[in-house]
A and B are shown apart, each in its own frame.
Chain A
């Protein structure tokens, strides 16, 4: 048997049989196709571009291209005062503005070393956890859309709408809040706010079960996500993954527990980690389940915060806000557990200016997305969509 390789056009095999007949077999010539997925593709969750090399439906390589939503966040920060950065942080992860503000406020407070009123801390935790639920609802809903189920998305948005209404009531804005200020809050919560939040918690519990029955328990959904895009724990740690992505790989790492801030040490909640019974540890389904279970934990946190909340008498949410923020020369790194993972701010102060010399945001989405190349190798095109959806990126935070 003779084999001739004709430069990438498939090989030709020539076989001589005993009766002197010659059989020539020729492989079908195949060529890999470059497929630009995005930035206007519906399931890239914004303006992500993936340049895929495809062999039929199989992705042999996928390279993420970023920067379509770059707004020079870090450069802007160097030119405005510390408090003026808060609205910019809303625009990082626009689905979880409260959490971003929280992380930034924590960082600057660490730099300034100021004491925060207890009620402020509880209100911050409540709004941050409400926002976490809202953010997870979007993550779960859009993941349903990625897999072809449209209805769960609208169920999620119906419930998210209530949260946005509550947050609007507190802060005056629906998504870009500018509510958590350095050293305090913009306003105290309205008088009936906690009652309404409590009502939301009782309303939302059965709805979360309904969502679970509709989407998470669906046979097709499980078939589409189970065992897809498996990320081993060590590789996830090496990539620097955090948040539900890392927990999906079986690592019990939650900054609210492992590097506690605010009043989280006083609160009782679990850190859900897949045990391999419902899903393969590290696959898309695990990451989805972590988000689904986290919503329940957030509800628990909110309930505890409502019951532990100190009285409102003589409370001024702006009492601890410094008149003029000019930190001592030095640097600080502060971080908080965002719905998408660890959002960290590194701030360098020269001690003279009211503006930071350097403000770097460590974006969880960006780090999580960096594993895309590894995860997508050899996957089918529909699985690539499932993997992108499970990473749950917000391009506002990836590109900053």
Chain B
């Protein structure tokens, strides 16, 4: 792909060519017969996961909220405070590991672990580029929907094990919320799966590739796709407990919800799991509706922008950027909207989102059958 684009129209200053050439060269790099280059290439997304969710998700949230609120945000640690989260983590690591006397110690300790694992297990099936996917399952999407539900167990364990009334409230609310919102979320994703005809993440993305860039994305292929797209976005906010659905951790009502009793590194683990989930749902929405690692730029006549900006490394760039865009929207909403009430949340789920999800499911089916 790259070589044809280069031969047609070579723009040396565009990073596209150099990035792909560079990645291909790296992939072919063998040291003493070992495919070291491939290992490095595969490690790039993992480094990203670590960098993003362990540090810069939190930093981004703080900076974005600061700019929305006429503040500067963290400025002291490093230039523009970019090392703030690392400093925070170091601080949290040094803290005493407090387990309340009357807490259920096993559940209390294991809760954040399950939460963290549940959040990061879904990364296994996220394709970061055509060349990189942790586990290319043929039921990848199904797995991603399913594994998120593991978080519920962690939240319930944390909330119940804390032996705190506020934690219990938070946990019960959270379970009710996540279990409810999985239904519209899953149905909305099924619409995407129906358009693709597969549950394999890589195949879903591959179907959305083409020389016209964004025009091949499901969101722009099918006018009905906007409905499941919006439904999944709203439901995913609820699934990862983000505002306006941050009811399980509603700080003004439940102190801190299910993690009221947590401190030190256990608190950090819960926090990082939340940011992990945020990117995970953002990546899934961009995979199913916005073409995943496909470049949104179209080929315009002889200027083969699409060809130039596709490839293993570009793929990682695009999916991460699309994910970041949705994370930005999530943060934007969080710092703008008030919080819904529990009954309003359930109303929205069962009486608005779920019926509309079914409607969009049927409409998508009709579209897929009757529209070529």
Contacts and interface: CB of A to CB of B under 8 A. Distances in A.
A223 to B, nearest CB: 6
Contacts of B70: 154-155, 158
A380 B252 contact: no
A155 B65 CA distance: 12
B340 A224 contact: yes
Given A57-B342, A224-B340, A380-B342, A148 B244 contact: yes
Given A149-B337, A220-B340, A224-B341, A382 B250 contact: yes
B252 A223 contact: no
Interface string B65-79: 100111100000000
Contacts of B337: 148-149, 218, 220
A205 to B, nearest CB: 18
A293 interface: no
A57 B244 contact: no
A33 B338 contact: no
A225 to B, nearest CB: 9
Contact of B344 (A42, A154, A223): A223
Nearest to B69: A154
Contacts of B338: 144, 147-149, 215, 218, 220-221, 224
A42 B252 contact: yes
Interface string A141-159: 0001111111100110010
A148 B69 contact: no
A75 interface: no
Contacts of B65: 150-151
- A: interface residue count bin: 20 to 34
Nearest to B66: A154
B325 interface: no
Interface in A333-385: 380-383, 385
B341 A383 contact: yes
A2 B216 CA distance: 67
B69 A151 contact: yes
Nearest to A221: B338
B328 interface: no
Interface in B238-291: 243-244, 246, 250-255
Contacts of A220: 244, 337-340
A383 B343 CA distance: 11
B165 interface: yes
Contact of B253 (A144, A154, A382): A382
Nearest to B343: A380
B74 to A, nearest CB: 15
B226 interface: no
Nearest to A149: B338
B350 interface: no
A381 B253 contact: yes
A41 B252 CA distance: 8
Given A149-B338, A382-B342, A385-B252, A57 B169 contact: yes
B339 A148 contact: yes
B334 to A, nearest CB: 8
B29 interface: no
A57 B344 CA distance: 13
A385 B344 contact: no
B251 A35 contact: no
A383 B342 CA distance: 10
A146 B252 contact: yes
Contacts of A382: 250, 253, 339, 341-342
Contacts of A329: none
A148 B246 contact: yes
Interface string A111-154: 00000000000000000000000000000000011111111001
Contacts of A41: 255
Contacts of A218: 337-338
A316 to B, nearest CB: 41
Contact of A381 (B71, B169, B246): B169
B238 to A, nearest CB: 14
B335 interface: yes
B336 A151 contact: yes
A150 B65 CA distance: 9
Contacts of B254: 381
Interface string A381-397: 11101000000000000
B37 to A, nearest CB: 47
Contact of A150 (B165, B169, B335, B344): B335
A43 interface: yes
A223 B345 CA distance: 11
Nearest to B244: A220
Contacts of A158: 70
A14 interface: no
Interface string A29-43: 000010100000111
A215 B337 CA distance: 8
Contacts of B253: 43, 381-382, 385
A209 interface: no
Contacts of B246: 148
- Point out which of B69, B165, B336, B341 has the most chain A C-beta atoms below 10 A from its C-beta: B341
B251 A42 contact: yes
A144 B70 CA distance: 17
A214 interface: yes
Contact of A380 (B69, B165, B255, B341): B341
Contact of B165 (A35, A151, A214, A221): A35
Nearest to B247: A382
A382 B245 CA distance: 13
B355 to A, nearest CB: 19
B29 to A, nearest CB: 49
B253 to A, nearest CB: 5
A383 B335 CA distance: 21
B71 A147 contact: no
Nearest to A148: B339
A310 to B, nearest CB: 38
A225 B182 CA distance: 28
Contacts of B243: 148
Nearest to B252: A43
Contacts of A214: 336
A155 B252 contact: no
A148 B255 contact: no
A57 B337 CA distance: 23
A310 B341 CA distance: 52
B336 A149 contact: yes
17 contacts: A41-B255, A42-B251, A43-B253, A57-B169, A144-B338, A147-B338, A147-B339, A148-B337, A148-B338, A149-B339, A151-B65, A223-B341, A224-B338, A224-B339, A380-B343, A382-B341, A385-B253
Interface pairs A-B: 9 shortest CB-CB: A148-B339, A154-B69, A149-B338, A43-B252, A147-B338, A148-B338, A382-B341, A220-B338, A146-B252
Given A144-B338, A155-B69, A215-B338, 11 more contacts: A147-B252, A149-B336, A150-B65, A150-B335, A151-B68, A151-B69, A214-B336, A218-B337, A220-B340, A381-B169, A382-B339
